[in-house]
Amino acid sequence: MSLRAYKKKRDFAKTIEPQPSRPSSRDGHHFVIQKHDASRLHYDFRLEMGGALKSWAVPKGIPVTKGEKRLAVHVEDHPISYMEFEGVIPKGQYGGGTVMVWDIGTFELLGADDLDSGKLHFALNGKKLKGEWRLVRMRDGDQWLLIRGTDSMRPISKKMDDTSALSGKTMKQLAANGRTWQPRKPAQEPLKFIEPMKARLLKSAPSGDWIYEIKFDGFRAMAFKSNGDVRLFSRNEKDFSGKFSAVHDALARLDAHDAIIDGEIVALDARGRSSFQLLQRFELGQARPPLFYYAFDLLWLNGKDLTHEPLVRRKLQLEQILKNAPEVIRYSSSLGEDAAPLLPRIRKLGLEGLIGKRKDSLYEPGRRSGAWIKLKLHQEQEMVIGGYTDPEGARRHFGALLIGFHENKKLRFAGKVGTGFNKAILKSLHSRLEKIVFDSCPFANLPETRVGHYRQNITAAEMKRCHWVRPELVCQVRFSEWTQDGKLRHPVFLGLRGDKDAAEVIREKAAPP
């Protein structure tokens, strides 16, 4: 649906409802539930998606008991500005009656389903509602079921049910006041996106004045706070605000008027180690591990650009503003200045490696200048998915992914990865692969003339049994080594990297210090 249906049903000379504007190009992750006393009392449930509010009318209210189901009728999209609308729609107009902002907050999509599939799994973090729900489309395209998730929450009291989450007014007070909604005044220009600084892979630690920090295994994330608004982006400017709403909300409570912070979102395992596989399971809705945002650099603070200040001064200011930060946000402190004694300790703890930074380094957006370096204890890197093979035996969906990297602007095949998947990942990933089917092989170095010692090569005969996809998806793999002919030995799938652009994936080679 577009906002045309919304506009067609309303006479804006008579109703105080907000007029539609061009849908936003950026996806937010906010929700609103409006109690609507029209011809029949009902609740309008709205999710911010695709630059508009996807909307359902729920006649009997939101279910709060585990497994409870309520009919939800899909209606026309509403403009984002409708999020804070409450007041009285005149009688005789479409939806005439009193409207209250019953609940408002952020939501987080769980799993790989989407609106087109007819299934949505999400968690709400509102002023009244918290927890998981599902929306499932029935045979009638506009009729859905809204289902409470795996646990129950305390029923909403009568007083809370009749109290606006926005103004604190009752339905009676809103009806008496009549025209109450006023559009927000536009805020000043938000802080612009800054591409994160990159680290160069080295074989060993260099000489000089360095500090070393833990190399986390998560999603790099840039946090922007200005004018009371918080935005959380991946390294390639994808919005993380809804996916990691707990981090987003914690950042809003930071003791800073405006700031830009560089850090990493991680999921911690039982031993307190960051785990990319656990983070992948969280994205699929299979696990709810503790999530944290480890902040390691400060680029902007209260109107001042800090990128031209030395690292140690930036970190000192970052530590100061994080002193009373919510538990979700943690300061990534220096472990020491000498990598030699640190690496054995890091290895013993099962961590990925170290990040080294020159003490006097300036922040260089988007650059891999060598002022930051990484020392890896495990072989891991991103790979582009270019195809897959058929499953064998009891496995379903696909057998192995065909992966590669870019070299001289061409995609080179680097091997097959057939381990590291569970049933849910196989299913969700296969569903995504089916949507990007490609007619021809995207790898420039296929076919190969022989199978190879580790059976990672693909001959012309085997290519006939492969399925090709557009090289858009990026995955993270762990492996034991590179073979002499440029293939991965013993690769293991760790998860998808939605924060990486496929065109930027190259073979990482450790340089001498």
Which residues are identified as catalytic? 215
Provide DSSP, 353-371: EEEEEETTPPP-TT---SS
**Token digits for 213?**
């920090």
Identify any residues that bridge with 107 across adjacent strands, giving them in sequence order.
124
**Distance (Å, rounded) from C-alpha 180 to C-alpha 17?**
10
**Distance (Å, rounded) from C-alpha 296 to C-alpha 91?**
56
**CA-based angle 455:457:463, to the nearest 5?**
115
**Distance (Å, rounded) from C-alpha 482 to C-alpha 385?**
18
Identify any residues that bridge with 357 across adjacent strands, giving them in sequence order.
211, 372
Distance of CA 307 to the CA centre of its chain: 26
Helix, strand, coil % (nearest 5) of the chain?
Answer: 15, 35, 50
* Cα→Cα distances 337→273, 334, 357, 376, 378, Å: 22, 8, 10, 17, 22
From 181, 50, 226, 67, select the one nearest 132 (Cα to Cα): 67
